[in-house]
């Protein structure tokens, strides 16, 4: 299992309506890719600003690589680069 977690810190000048549209667009991306699980939520903790959490599991690194090259991912990544800063955590999950 390969995990991909992204924290998007949305810029302060982004409206609440645009934030909602962005979350909807990120959720819809999950319907276009081959993820084992795809979760997108706004963080409950807003002390450091508005943060969108994307928590994804892929079957393996090859599936993740296909996701990264997917045109829908590239398009939304370009958009997210304009409205947010982000931190990424990618790792191979251990079998427990």
pLDDT value at residue 86: 97
Query: Which of 42, 43, 4, 47 is CA-nearest to residue 20?
Result: 42
Q: Mean pLDDT for each consecutive 10-residue tract of the chain (96 residues)?
A: 97 98 97 95 96 98 96 97 98 84
pTM for the complete prediction? 0.93
pLDDT value at residue 96: 61
% helix, strand, coil for the chain, step of 5: 40, 35, 30
Fold classified for 2-51+59-92? Alpha-Beta Plaits (3.30.70)
pLDDT value at residue 29: 96
The ranges assigned to domains in the chain are 2-51+59-92
């Amino acid at each position: 299992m390969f995990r991909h977690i992204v924290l998007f810190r949305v810029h302060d000048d982004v409206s609440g309506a645009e934030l909602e549209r962005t979350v909807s667009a990120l959720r819809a991306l999950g319907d276009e890719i081959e993820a084992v699980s795809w979760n997108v939520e706004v963080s409950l903790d807003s002390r450091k600003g508005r943060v969108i959490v994307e928590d994804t599991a892929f079957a393996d690194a090859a599936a993740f690589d296909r996701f990264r090259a997917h045109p829908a991912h590239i398009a939304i990544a370009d958009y997210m680069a304009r409205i947010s800063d982000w931190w990424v955590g990618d790792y191979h999950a251990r079998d427990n």
